[in-house]
Structures are given as C-alpha cells and as structure tokens.
C-alpha cells in the first residue's frame, strides 16, 4: 500500500500578487474562486494521492507562481481499530470452527461406539423362527365360492334422479326468477 500525500500552500513566488495567482489558478483548474481562496488559507485543494501525482500537482501550482510542499498523510487510527476488530472477528471465527470440529470428532467417536455395539449384538446367534403357521389348518366355515348377493340399485337411481331434478329446478329459478313467484308467497 503506497503512502498518500497532500499538496499544501507554502507561499507565493517573488513578484506574484495573491489575486493574480488565484485568478490564474482558477482559470487553469476551472475551479471556483472560493475553493482557490480556501487553498491559500491552508485548506486542501486536491484530494490525497500518490507521490507522483502530488508532485505533478505541485508543478502545476509552480507554473502559476505558487510555492507548495508535500505533506505525507499518516494512516488514520480507524484502520488500526478496524484491524483489531478484524483480528477479533477472525479469532471468533476460528474459535467457532474449532468448536465445530471438536463436536464433529465427538459425534464420530459416538457413532463408532454405536457401530461396535450393533456389530456385537448382530453376531449373537439368532434362534430359528418356528414354522408353526404352516402346520395350522385353516378353519374356514364358509365355502369360498359362494356367490355375492346383488343388491337392488333402484334406491341409488332414485336418489340420483331426485338430485338432478332439484338441480334443474334450481337452475331454472336462477335463469327465470319470475317463473317461480308462487313460491315467494
């Protein structure tokens, strides 16, 4: 990371009037006269930049008759604070990752224990299942080939017909409301 510099006002060249220098600089930079006047009061005219660019800015000021000097800018303390905060955040992340890793190791050990327990219980001989169900006689009282009694569907057909008639009457009452006025009285 390169160091930044700021060009600050140091004085005027010999024989240069402040008003003339301000007017020339304002015309050259196409900047407002108030900003140029503020530069003469030790306020920044240019943003902090790399050393090469700051030297070019100083040369530009020298062509107008303004003496300037470069002032190195120190990194603000907020960077150190952000570095500390970043380090603390990184430390918390590493602690969390360490905790997760150790938890995974414990889970893996428990799974290994369970696997060993299961393998020891499956190695025990299993008693053969008895085939008693094959020796039992089926006790069926009824013959399997008895015919199924057919029911009369007249009740079902009459219910369906009744629902259809009611739906037709309902549709007609909506389509022709004057047709069923005798029902309203």
How does pLDDT run across 10-23, given as a tens digit for each residue?
A: 888 888 888 888 89
pLDDT digits (tens, 9 = 90+) for 81-113: 778 888 898 888 888 888 888 888 899 899 988
**Phi/psi of residue 35, each to 5°?**
-70, -40
What confidence category does residue 45 fall into, taking pLDDT thresholds of 50, 70 and 90? confident
Residue 45 neighbours by CB under 8 Å, 6+ apart: 7, 31, 35, 36, 38, 39
Domain boundaries, the chain: 5-72, 77-120
pTM score over 0.85: no
Higher pLDDT, 53 or 144: 53
Helix, strand or coil, per DSSP, at residue 10: strand
Q: Give the pLDDT confidence score for residue 118 in this predicted structure.
A: 86
Q: Give the pLDDT confidence score for residue 121 in this predicted structure.
A: 73
Euclidean distance between CA atoms 153 and 147, whole angstroms: 18
pLDDT digits (tens, 9 = 90+) for 142-167: 566 666 777 778 888 999 999 999 99
Of the ranges 22-31, 97-106, 120-129, which one carries the lowest mean pLDDT score? 120-129
């Amino acid at each position: 990371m390169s160091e930044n510099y700021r060009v600050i006002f140091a004085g005027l060249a010999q024989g240069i009037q402040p008003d003339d220098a301000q007017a020339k600089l304002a015309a050259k930079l196409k900047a407002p006269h108030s900003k140029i006047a503020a530069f003469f009061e030790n306020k920044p005219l240019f943003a902090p930049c790399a050393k090469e660019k700051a030297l070019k800015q100083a040369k530009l000021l020298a062509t107008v008759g303004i003496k300037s000097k470069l002032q190195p800018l120190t990194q603000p303390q907020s960077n150190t604070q952000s570095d500390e905060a970043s380090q603390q955040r990184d430390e918390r992340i590493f602690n969390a990752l360490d905790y997760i890793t150790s938890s995974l190791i414990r889970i893996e050990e428990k799974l290994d224990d369970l696997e060993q327990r299961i393998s020891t219980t499956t190695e025990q001989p299993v008693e053969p299942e008895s085939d008693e169900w094959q020796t039992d006689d089926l006790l069926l009282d009824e013959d399997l080939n008895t015919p199924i009694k057919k029911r009369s569907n007249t009740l079902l057909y009459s219910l369906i017909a009744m629902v259809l008639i009611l739906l037709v009457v309902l549709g007609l009452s909506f389509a022709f409301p004057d047709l069923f006025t005798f029902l309203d009285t």
